Amino acid sequence: MANNIPHTIDELRNKLREYEYHYHVLDNPLVPDAEYDRLMNELKKIEAENPALITVDSPTQRVGAKPLDGFSQVKHKVPMLSLDNAFSDEELEAFLRRITDRATVNIANLEFCCEPKLDGLAVSILYENGVLTQAATRGDGATGEDITANIRTIRNIPLKLNMANPPASLEVRGEVFMPQRGFEQLNEKALAKGEKTFANPRNAAAGSLRQLDPKITSQRPLVLNAYGVGVYESEQPLPDTHFARLQWLKSIGIPVNNEIILAKGMKGLLEFYHSIAQKRDSLGYDIDGTVLKINDIQLQEQLGFISKAPRWAIAYKFPAQEEMTVLNDVEFQVGRTGAITPVAKLEPVFVAGVTVSNATLHNGDEIARLGVCIHDTVIIRRAGDVIPQIVGVVLEKRPEFAKSIQFPTACPVCNSSVIRIEGEAVARCTGGLFCNAQRKEILKHFVSRKAMDIDGVGVKLIEQLMEKELLHTPADLFKLEKETLARLERMGEKSATKALLSIEKSKATTLSRFLFALGIREVGEATALNLANHFGTLDAIRQANVEQLKEVQDVGEVVANHIYRFWLEPHNIEVVEELISLGVHWDDVVQQEIKDNPLKDKNVVLTGSLSQLTRDQAKALLQSFGCKVSGSVSKKTDFLIAGEKAGSKLTKAQELGITVLSEQDLIDLTVE
């Protein structure tokens, strides 16, 4: 066994170095911090038990990582250190005990400056004679990267100190981080452009600050909070407590965090820790714990440093928000609107205080973006009240038997086909009228006032009937019998009669109400009316292709596709035909006769931007004169109406020799 230790230690150290490189240098961690911390603790334990094995280059003895090649290097005059960690009250007590071992103080009265531990990256900013002249990352603590140009782009960092007699040099130390809102917006933009997103705000901040092109940094929402002073040269001495120094920094224009307070003894430290933990979700920026520092600078100096951290401060950390676990399977759930959501079935894991065994994967794009497979080890993030999410895959742990995730082509609930309309992230079950997952919403909508207007059938009754398996599709409503209804809870003879009467009455309806009642996605009342007026009969609507559907006012590509797909699903047709055979009827819409005019029956295309009419107004105007308005220019096109900045359609029309009219021409034609 003993022989095994050096081997284990080497492996451990190499693993830690690899993780540090990816985290500190590439800003792209391979594993969650919790995993890194576990390995680090293990190494510390082995080294504590075998002090002879400690080497100067062990990860326990060093800070961060070497600076990246692309940047010039900055040597820190005063080393930039790390912090010792505590993860429990016992570890915090041990820290306090180490202080009393070295200094005669009464802990109960010892004052600490208590600060949130901001989750970004440490920077050093040098002001010479009041002017910002240099900025650097922490790097390996001795040497950092020159990021002066990038730091100058951060709005809350003054380029000049706000004071009369500035010190010859003042090195401000602090954390640059990205507030959550900015992080979300940045990721949304990246997603929209199909670019890589950041797993968390810390990576986003580090990746944004360590850019070779400061223009990119300037577009990133970064913020500085200062937490200390490094080099200081001036005739004026600095205040003699840490807290007073922070106040002074604030007074000369350097931003300092507002949550910082003074507290005494173990009790005071714990109170701060718990109150900040409570506020954590509402701060608007990520913190991963508290930093507790002895306030008296003289005592700080007396205590000094151990290898890579001061003895007078500790980071008391919160439980990790990111953990890793195995993705056992993916289940596809069908929502009330037919949206199909992949749900990750996880090996249960404890994250930020709760056991997590499910996480949302959102949609097919998200699965592709993550590149996640079943049996992968994944990184789970649970921040605040947000549903746990998979933010990354630990590729080095992918087993050979990992298998890719197949998005279903048929609905897992009703077996209707699943489609995804171009430009939409969500895939949906098309069996709207038939699908059990969607039936409650569909039925509620079907009976509603502006649809079939069945006022004797409310939500409670629908729920009861569904529970008793008496109601699956809207057609079942028309098969209900009085005895069945009367036997239901809170129903009785009278309500049953009333329900049946209003069901009977609803059979005489209009085409537009019926269309609206079918609950086709994005077909609201107005669209249903336009469809009915345009096509006149249900059969005509059923037979229309996407191009023909797009001729209807207010119907664009997406809506046309929803309507078209609805009729492609045989289950929907079954229900509609059943409704009709059960007696639902309407009069076909009589289409108005349009008087002869130069525009009647012409094929017209609109392009460019109009100044007097909106697109929809122009379309409606043309239709009222009997035009067919379509989206693309072809040989069949009679007129092209071209507004400002018309592009390829105009060129094509000119090539085909098609008459081109201006917006004014159109108005003149229609006024006469």
18 vs 616 by CB, closer to ligand NAD:
18
Which residues are CB-contacts of 23 (< 8 A; sequence separation ≥ 6)?
29, 30, 36, 65
- Residue 435 site contact among Zn ion, ligand NAD, none (CB < 5 to 8 Å, cut-off depends on kind): Zn ion
Q: Are 324 and 377 in contact (CB under 8 A)?
A: yes
Q: Tell which positions 210-269 bind ligand NAD, by CB under 6 A.
A: 227
**Comparing C-alpha atoms, which of 10, 28, 9 is closest to residue 19?**
28
- Give me the long-range contacts of 329-334 (CB less than 8 A, separation at least 24): 329/374, 330/361, 330/367, 330/374, 330/405, 332/407, 332/408, 332/412, 333/412, 333/437, 334/411, 334/412, 334/413, 334/429, 334/435, 334/437, 334/438
**Comparing C-alpha atoms, which of 523, 513, 514, 611 is closest to residue 563?**
523
Q: Which of 15, 44, 75, 117 is catalytic?
A: 117
Confirm or reject binding of residue 429 to Zn ion (CB under 5 A): yes
Confirm or reject binding of residue 145 to ligand NAD (CB under 6 A): no
Half-sphere exposure of 450 (CA within 13 A, CB side): 8
- 29 token code pair: 């961690």
317 vs 521 by CB, closer to ligand NAD:
317
Q: How far is the CB of 434 from Zn ion (least distance, A)?
A: 7
Proportion of the chain in helix, strand, coil states, percent, rounded to 5: 40, 20, 40
The question of whether 117 is a catalytic residue gets the answer: yes
Q: How far is the CB of 564 from Zn ion (least distance, A)?
A: 18
Confirm or reject binding of residue 435 to Zn ion (CB under 5 A): yes
Output DSSP code: residue 24.
Answer: I
CB neighbour burial string for 254-287, b if at least 16 within 10 angstroms, e if fewer:
bbbbebbeebbbbebbeebbeebbeebeebebbb
**Comparing C-alpha atoms, which of 126, 143, 151 is closest to residue 72?**
143
Partners of 91 in the β-ladder:
none
Q: Tell which positions 149-168 bind ligand NAD, by CB under 6 A.
A: none
Which residues are CB-contacts of 406 (< 8 A; sequence separation ≥ 6)?
none
Q: Tell which positions 618-637 bind ligand NAD, by CB under 6 A.
A: none
- Residue 31 site contact among ligand NAD, Zn ion, none (CB < 5 to 8 Å, cut-off depends on kind): ligand NAD
**Comparing C-alpha atoms, which of 536, 672, 517 is closest to residue 597?**
672
63 vs 418 by CB, closer to ligand NAD:
63
Q: How far is the CB of 416 from Zn ion (least distance, A)?
A: 5
Binding residue per annotation — 115? yes
Q: Which of 13, 15, 117, 210 binds ligand NAD (CB under 6 A)?
A: 117
At 24, which amino acid appears? H
175 vs 476 by CB, closer to ligand NAD:
175
- Residue 83 site contact among Zn ion, ligand NAD, none (CB < 5 to 8 Å, cut-off depends on kind): ligand NAD
291 vs 303 by CB, closer to ligand NAD:
291
Q: How far is the CB of 81 from ligand NAD (least distance, A)?
A: 7
Binding residue per annotation — 411? yes
Q: How far is the CB of 433 from ligand NAD (least distance, A)?
A: 50
- Residue 255 site contact among Zn ion, ligand NAD, none (CB < 5 to 8 Å, cut-off depends on kind): none
d(CA 478, CA 194): 49
What are the φ/ψ torsions at residue 506 (nearest 5 degrees)?
A: -70, -15
Contact stretch for Zn ion (CB under 5 A) within 38-46, 85-93, 428-436, 472-480: 428-436
122 vs 418 by CB, closer to ligand NAD:
122
Confirm or reject binding of residue 286 to ligand NAD (CB under 6 A): no
Contact stretch for ligand NAD (CB under 6 A) within 87-95, 111-119, 261-269, 634-642: 111-119
Q: Exposed, middle or buried by CB within 10 Å (0-12, 13-18, 19+), for 72?
A: exposed
124 vs 623 by CB, closer to ligand NAD:
124
Q: How far is the CB of 435 from Zn ion (least distance, A)?
A: 3
d(CA 422, CA 263): 58
Confirm or reject binding of residue 33 to ligand NAD (CB under 6 A): yes
- CA distances in angstroms from 492 to 468, 486, 488, 594, 672, listed in the order given: 16, 4, 7, 54, 64
124 vs 416 by CB, closer to ligand NAD:
124
> Distance from CA of residue 323 to its chain's centroid?
18
d(CA 267, CA 280): 20
Q: Tell which positions 402-421 bind Zn ion, by CB under 5 A.
A: 411, 413-414, 416
- Residue 276 site contact among ligand NAD, Zn ion, none (CB < 5 to 8 Å, cut-off depends on kind): none
Q: Exposed, middle or buried by CB within 10 Å (0-12, 13-18, 19+), for 319?
A: middle
- Residue 286 site contact among ligand NAD, Zn ion, none (CB < 5 to 8 Å, cut-off depends on kind): none
Contact string (CB under 6 A) for ligand NAD, positions 5-24, x = contact: --------------xx--x-
Which residues are CB-contacts of 9 (< 8 A; sequence separation ≥ 6)?
43, 46, 47, 53
Which residues are CB-contacts of 459 (< 8 A; sequence separation ≥ 6)?
444
Q: Which of 17, 26, 37, 68 binds ligand NAD (CB under 6 A)?
A: 37
Q: Residues comprising the binding site?
A: 33-37, 82-83, 115, 138, 175, 293, 317, 411, 414, 435
Active site residues: 117
User: Which residues here bind Zn ion, judged by CB under 5 A?
Assistant: 411, 413-414, 416, 429, 431, 435
Q: Residues comprising the binding site for Zn(2+)?
A: 411, 414, 435
User: Which residues here bind ligand NAD, judged by CB under 6 A?
Assistant: 19-20, 23, 29-33, 36-37, 63-64, 82-83, 85, 115, 117-118, 121-122, 138, 175, 227, 291, 315
